[in-house]
Structure 1
Amino acid sequence: MIELCKWEAGEATIAKAKRQILEAQRERLNLPADTPLNQVPPPKVLDMFSGGGAIPLEALRLGCETYAVELNPVAHIIELCTLVYPQKYGKQLADEVEKWGNWVIEKVREEIGDLYPAIKVGEVLQEEPQQLELLQHPKVKQLSLAQTLTPVAYLWTRTVKCPNPACGAEVPLVRQTWLCKKAKKYVALKVIPNYETKRVEFEVVEAATEKGLGFDPAAGSSRGNSTCRHCGTTIPTKPYIQEQGKAGKIGHQLMAIVCTTLGEQGKTYLSGTAYEKYIPDEIVIKNRLQTLVEEIGVSTPDEPVKVWSGVFNAPLYGLDKFEKLFTFRQLLSMMTFVKWVKLAHYEILQQGNEEELAKAISTYLSVMCDRLADYNSSITHWHNTGEKMSNTFSRQALPMVWDFAEINPLGNASGNAKGALDWILQFIRRESQEYSKPGILQRSSATSISVESESLDAVITDPPYFDSVPYADLSDFFYVWLKRSIGHLYPEHFSSQLTPKKNEAIMEPSRHGGDKKKAAQFYEEMMHKAFCEANRVLKPNGMMVVVYAHKTTSGWSTLIDSLRRARFTITEAWPLDTEMSSRLRGQNSAALASSIFLVSRKRTDTKIGDYAMDVRPELSKIVQSRVKTLMAEGVSGADLVIACIGAGLRAYTQYDRVELPNGDELDANSFLNEVQKEVLEEILTEVLKCDKKGISAVDKPTQYYILGRYEYGESIVEFDEANTLARGVGVELDGAAGLTDGKLYLVKKTKNQVQLRDYTERGADADLGIQKTEKQQEFNVKPQAIGIAPTLIDILHRLLWLQENKPQEINNFITLAQPDATQLRLVAQALGGRALTPEAGATQFVNGHRTKEQQQIDTLLASWKRVVEENLFTQAK
């Protein structure tokens, strides 16, 4: 399994796995041991939420008979290109896609190549000898006058008119003007107001150091709020810029052109002000676009873009149709690709290719267009450290972007059409070598699967995550282009305006009149029906594996209840690293660093479990074992907590119903709270290196701080996630007595996010950690809360601060605080211990080093006897 799970697993490893799978299948089917493996029917595997086909693809690679069910038409098209066409047509397909892909690119180049003109060094200097900037450029001055620069990207800023009546200048909304940030190469744009033209000008400045630039490139707009460079007027996002956008009055101005040179490495940056003449006239582009639309009889994508709070905010600024997410030049280039993809299909048929092969080739050409659209919109930006384009969906959103990069789709930099084609060809050639049968695809809801009952060996699926990702709305961006390029080849998938959403399994209140409760009920019911279908199609001894990575209790309780009501028992749960850090989910705060694989079996009986007598004892046994096992494997943070909770579900889901001593049913949400308490308590015993009695002696806020540092390090986390942990410990974050309240608050809350405060933020307050005693009057110290003992974390934070800043006051502080030395040392050791290894993405360790708090704890523990114990001993005497 270890060899198989490596990214670079070779053919020999896969062949061995195929053989072992068939040997196991032969045994499962009770076939004679001497039955040749080529006569053993392979396992039948279904993914009922198959998306782009990652799970089914691996099943195909392992020789399984693979079924994939998916509702979304965009995902279904990707699955055809992933699971069917390469396996069906083999190497011939790759050769044909390469041939016709290059044909399309060249036809597009012939038609619109003039929109992206090369910049000839000699011509510029001949026509405008005063433009010495080009000649003086470190890169360009080495070139001969006959050489040319090829634009690969055009960097733009959106603009609005200054609302000051006495000014009226065009205000750039650019956030920052960095072009390149590399060692010994710092390039940025200097913004210079031109009081005659009422526009700013952009000057390219390059230096060997950041300081050498002589200005701050980051001094641009903040969240869209900008300052007029001519009169100093502040221009707010709300309501002014939003109103300007809805009125169609947000413009754009060229800031820079990024170029490459044949035979040379690196990028050359040219001022947009100096080389604006190399941008075709927008009126001409509009006219050409209109002519093209009439010629091919296909409109630009005028479908609406939905406003999705915190995810899709571009429509709030007037970008309320998909066509508005593109500049006119981008639209013209995309529509030209659409034209030639459609014509390519006709030409392929004219050359005598059979219809299905022609359809397959054209489908890949349309995917090339979709990949291009991801880089060829005005929601992209320039990656100044990598000196490359970032795509539209660098995260799961369509946000408003104030300064964007426009790619040259025919250029030679990342994100261009040729690069998109190369990625596609690489995949086809890889998969066409597998000699596996194509997957069996079905585009439908997971609640209604056209598969015979009790016929499948396994259902392995990665379902939608409650409310975390608006898959259908995200895919609309690609749907509108697929519909235009190959919609006529797949009328059954592209007949609607946008992707279907009515039956999408997601908790989305806007689809239920804003009612969150109804939305949650809908999601749960959809998942329940889907899991009932899984139960129906599985063989009696079949296995169901659900891949889940959601952190919220609401998401988990819904999933668990859906599985249990569909008569599944969760038998195992394991965390596995499955995602690239750059993948969308890796940037999603609702997702775990690992995916939790919940393994379940069909439940045939209708037993009722007694929580006190049956469920609780088994839960404790499972959790105790699993915490030790996973911590020994290096699993930590939220992954450890969720994985242990998942394993504890076996104690609950093996019963048709679980009853409390009073006869009431224990619901999934209540059980999750019980499991979480059990898991957190067990983790604390491991982290604190003590028994449960020792844990009970540590106050709850301190327990929470230890677990919070363990799970999140120094990261900022969502309030709901942090509050779930707090409830499991038995403390409140909000409210009058919450950890976010008061002068000495332990947790900092900003809107819907929280972060633990360390000793550097809390320790300077003289009231922190003071115990109310008779000595208080003598030292004239005001207690932080009369009648409430200070927490151990308060005492430790004050002690760490004094150690660093005022060591001479430690004796007096210990006299007043009167801590239990054993408990305090336990807490210090836990927070300084290596058990607190962070999950991926946390900042418990910065650049491989221990945090400042941990370093101070190391110092304190090294002198513990002298600083704490001897002081307490002296006071006792």
Structure 2
Amino acid sequence: MNTFADLFTPRQLVALTTFSDLVIEARERVLKDALKAGMPDDPRGLNEGGTGATAYADAVATYLGCGISRSADFWSSFTTWTSSGEFIGHTFTRQALPMVWDFGEVNPFSNATGKWKGAIDWIFNVVLGLPASKSSSALQCDAASGSAMSFDFIISTDPPYYDNIGYADLSDFFYVWLRRSIGKIYPDLFSTMLVPKAEELVATPYRFGGDKKKAKEFFETGLRRAFEKMREAANPEYPLAVYYAFKQAESDTNVKDGNGKHALASTGWETMLQGLLQTGFQITGTWPMRTERSARSVGLGTNALASSIVLACRPRPEDAPMTTRRDFINALKRELPKALMTLQEGNIAPVDLAQSAIGPGMAIFSRYSKVLEADGSPMTVRSALALINQVLDEYLTEQEGEYDADTRWALAWFEEYGMGEGPYGMAETLSKAKNTAVDALERAGILVSKAGKVRLLRREELPDDWPACRAGRQRGAGRDPVKDKRLTVWEVTQYLIRALVDKGSEEAAADLLKKVGALGDVARELAYRLYTICDRKKWAQEALAYNSLVVAWPELVKLAGRGEAKSPTQTGMFENE
């Protein structure tokens, strides 16, 4: 495939070109009807700031052009067929053109998913929801050059994500149809055959002959220049707001955690924060904000991020002090746990906890002009991120003190073996360290021991008549945890997930939560810890189960009649900083 035409079947091309050409005809019809109805006109189009009939016709054509663009997403040979619901999925289920072995083709005039009317209905509903009380303007410019920036802007920005998404390359898919349908209305925006790419801030090696180092330098230099221009142009009365969401993490060979393992850092976060701090900003406030739809394709059945982190930044004082690595770590251990507790009380999803910790952690780091390593060199942002992740892990580990001995054993075993088998001797040694015993754990319904091997009970193996069925003993208690003489946090967590996720019943999970009382809150804390382990081990499906429990917690608390659980709330933009 060499051209965008190759992405469509012949009749799809006919449909898209026909609909695109009809947009201009529709514009002329709208203009004629508007003038006939007595709408005043001026010679300026919408692109020139006009407000008369000509601009009105341009606006209608623009919405129709957006409908063409949306339809193209469903009218290609790269659509997918969703067999479970028997409907056509759109082309860009992810930020890339996927490899598909078969595709569905929609009739634009049908009542099926992807129809033309559906595209227009989406746009119509958006227009209805838009606030129309004030007018505004938009302009296209290079943020790194800052040519169009004034000195009184309130800046809110969502920086690029290193090499994660090539927006310009992907935009060509839609650009070619928008240019054909509304290019004459916006000649400046559509002056090129394809989307301009040379100035896009993305660390894509192919644009530099495959040289990753040059791509990295280009991205870092451009991002730093952009933040420099923002600092010059920002209104000093208000903070710079930076939205960021990036899950990628890699091991840092220069920093080790308390277990001697390499700590985790993130290239995406590192480069963004490095550009921000090098230009003299400091982070003065952070909030996680839910910005993603759980129903979006990348979020279905995955551990995709649900939130972005909003960083409120101001210029760092010229007399900001320096500190040492030791003092920085002490400050992290002193201040970060309070912030993490607040996040958990607000029911932040486990999938978002690690990146949410970056905000308050980097707020501590950025208050100093420098953090000096033991050899006198300045600490890098990457090392600071690794230390923040280390303190986060320590915080979650410290919560183990609230667990019973059986749960502490199960947690340690899970971290080493997951739901797989391990040697009996190792299980026995670990049980002594956790002040329990293998046979007691078996009676508690936590593990299975057979032929010199031990493993945790899987959720599908848990007995329905909990807690009476213990290692083949009597049955018939009827899922009443109150009658369990050896009730464990581990067991409560697994039964809650089985009811909620595996059986899909919020009511059943809420009923269990009501019966276990305060132990349910400890189970929720355990879910955070188990998610972190699963995420590190790349156990995606198991991680999803623990994340789902925490996300559903406010509703479970409500159904259990325990009042309203704390949940994130949207406040005013400038209420706190």
Q: TM-score range by the shorter chain?
A: 0.5 to 0.7
Tell me the distance in 2 between the aligned counterparts of 1:703 and 1:524.
41
Deviation at 1:498, TM superposition (A): 1.5
Alignment deviations for residues 808-856 of structure 1 (CA, whole Å, 9 cap, x no partner): 9799xxxxxxxxxxxxx9997998743133679843359979xxxxxxx
The reply on whether 1:487 has 2:183 as its aligned counterpart is yes
- Secondary structure in 1 aligned to 2:245? strand
Structure 2 counterpart of 1:343, one-letter code: E
Tell me the distance in 1 between the aligned counterparts of 2:230 and 2:196.
22
More strand by percentage: 1
Structure 1 counterpart of 2:9, one-letter code: T
Tell me the distance in 2 between the aligned counterparts of 1:341 and 1:513.
40
**Equivalences for residues 357-506 of structure 1 within 5 A:** 357-431=56-130, 434-450=131-147, 453-456=150-153, 458-506=154-202
Tell me the distance in 2 between the aligned counterparts of 1:796 and 1:548.
46
**Equivalences for residues 16-95 of structure 1 within 5 A:** none
Change (3 A) 1:660 1:358: same
The reply on whether 1:328 has 2:6 as its aligned counterpart is no
Give unmatched runs, 5+ long, in structure 1: 1-318, 707-745, 747-756, 773-788, 812-824, 850-877
Alignment deviations for residues 718-742 of structure 1 (CA, whole Å, 9 cap, x no partner): xxxxxxxxxxxxxxxxxxxxxxxxx
- Tell me which residue corresponds to 2:27: 345
Contact 1:542 1:602 survives alignment (8 Å): no
- Tell me which residue corresponds to 2:379: 666
Deviation at 1:791, TM superposition (A): 9.5
- Tell me which residue corresponds to 1:535: 231
Deviation at 1:679, TM superposition (A): 1.8
Change (3 A) 1:452 1:414: closer
Change (3 A) 1:771 1:521: same
- Tell me which residue corresponds to 2:364: 651
Tell me the distance in 2 between the aligned counterparts of 1:546 and 1:665.
24
Change (3 A) 1:830 1:518: farther
**Equivalences for residues 217-366 of structure 1 within 5 A:** 319-350=1-32, 352=35, 354-366=53-65
Contact 1:688 1:830 survives alignment (8 Å): no
Tell me the distance in 2 between the aligned counterparts of 1:535 and 1:344.
45
Alignment deviations for residues 18-70 of structure 1 (CA, whole Å, 9 cap, x no partner): xxxxxxxxxxxxxxxxxxxxxxxxxxxxxxxxxxxxxxxxxxxxxxxxxxxxx
- Secondary structure in 2 aligned to 1:642? helix
Change (3 A) 1:364 1:835: same
Contact 1:570 1:598 survives alignment (8 Å): yes
- Tell me which residue corresponds to 1:523: 219
The reply on whether 1:682 has 2:383 as its aligned counterpart is no
Tell me the distance in 1 between the aligned counterparts of 2:400 and 2:352.
16
Deviation at 1:345, TM superposition (A): 3.0
- Tell me which residue corresponds to 1:212: none
Change (3 A) 1:597 1:587: farther
- Secondary structure in 2 aligned to 1:355? helix
Alignment deviations for residues 426-473 of structure 1 (CA, whole Å, 9 cap, x no partner): 322333xx44222221111222335555413x3222222222222222
TM-score, length of structure 2 as denominator length: 0.67
Contact 2:309 2:356 survives alignment (8 Å): yes
Change (3 A) 1:406 1:796: farther
The reply on whether 1:843 has 2:503 as its aligned counterpart is no
Deviation at 1:407, TM superposition (A): 0.8
Deviation at 1:330, TM superposition (A): 0.9
Alignment deviations for residues 359-406 of structure 1 (CA, whole Å, 9 cap, x no partner): 222222211111211111111133333332211122222123222111
Deviation at 1:561, TM superposition (A): 0.9
- Tell me which residue corresponds to 1:639: 352
Contact 2:202 2:219 survives alignment (8 Å): yes
**Equivalences for residues 158-173 of structure 1 within 5 A:** none
Contact 2:349 2:547 survives alignment (8 Å): no
The reply on whether 1:567 has 2:280 as its aligned counterpart is yes
Alignment deviations for residues 232-257 of structure 1 (CA, whole Å, 9 cap, x no partner): xxxxxxxxxxxxxxxxxxxxxxxxxx
Change (3 A) 1:442 1:678: same
Contact 1:407 1:416 survives alignment (8 Å): yes
Change (3 A) 1:848 1:350: closer
The reply on whether 1:762 has 2:421 as its aligned counterpart is yes
Alignment deviations for residues 296-320 of structure 1 (CA, whole Å, 9 cap, x no partner): xxxxxxxxxxxxxxxxxxxxxxx33
Change (3 A) 1:830 1:463: farther
- Secondary structure in 2 aligned to 1:406? coil
Tell me the distance in 2 between the aligned counterparts of 1:771 and 1:704.
11
Change (3 A) 1:453 1:412: closer
Contact 1:573 1:598 survives alignment (8 Å): yes
Deviation at 1:337, TM superposition (A): 0.9
Tell me the distance in 1 between the aligned counterparts of 2:378 and 2:89.
51
Contact 1:608 1:659 survives alignment (8 Å): no
Change (3 A) 1:827 1:613: same
Tell me the distance in 2 between the aligned counterparts of 1:576 and 1:846.
17
Structure 2 counterpart of 1:583, one-letter code: R
Tell me the distance in 2 between the aligned counterparts of 1:566 and 1:599.
15
Tell me the distance in 2 between the aligned counterparts of 1:373 and 1:514.
31
Deviation at 1:626, TM superposition (A): 1.3
Alignment deviations for residues 594-638 of structure 1 (CA, whole Å, 9 cap, x no partner): 221222222231534122465333222221211222223323524
Change (3 A) 1:762 1:703: closer
TM-score, length of structure 1 as denominator length: 0.45
Tell me the distance in 2 between the aligned counterparts of 1:611 and 1:659.
5
- Secondary structure in 2 aligned to 1:550? coil
Tell me the distance in 2 between the aligned counterparts of 1:478 and 1:689.
54
Change (3 A) 1:483 1:609: same
Tell me the distance in 2 between the aligned counterparts of 1:846 and 1:430.
31
Change (3 A) 1:791 1:416: farther
- Secondary structure in 1 aligned to 2:105? strand
- Tell me which residue corresponds to 2:337: 624
- Secondary structure in 1 aligned to 2:67? helix
Alignment deviations for residues 546-580 of structure 1 (CA, whole Å, 9 cap, x no partner): 11111231111111111101211112222222211
Alignment deviations for residues 409-428 of structure 1 (CA, whole Å, 9 cap, x no partner): 12222321122222222322
Of the two, which has the highest radius of gyration? 1
Structure 2 counterpart of 1:420, one-letter code: A
Alignment deviations for residues 679-719 of structure 1 (CA, whole Å, 9 cap, x no partner): 211221124439xxx9xxx99x977965xxxxxxxxxxxxx
Contact 1:573 1:644 survives alignment (8 Å): no
Tell me the distance in 1 between the aligned counterparts of 2:120 and 2:61.
12
Give unmatched runs, 5+ long, in structure 2: 36-40, 42-52, 249-265, 455-486, 495-522, 532-539, 551-577
Deviation at 1:669, TM superposition (A): 0.7
- Secondary structure in 1 aligned to 2:138? strand
Equivalenced residues, count: 440
Tell me the distance in 1 between the aligned counterparts of 2:159 and 2:439.
43
Change (3 A) 1:327 1:525: same
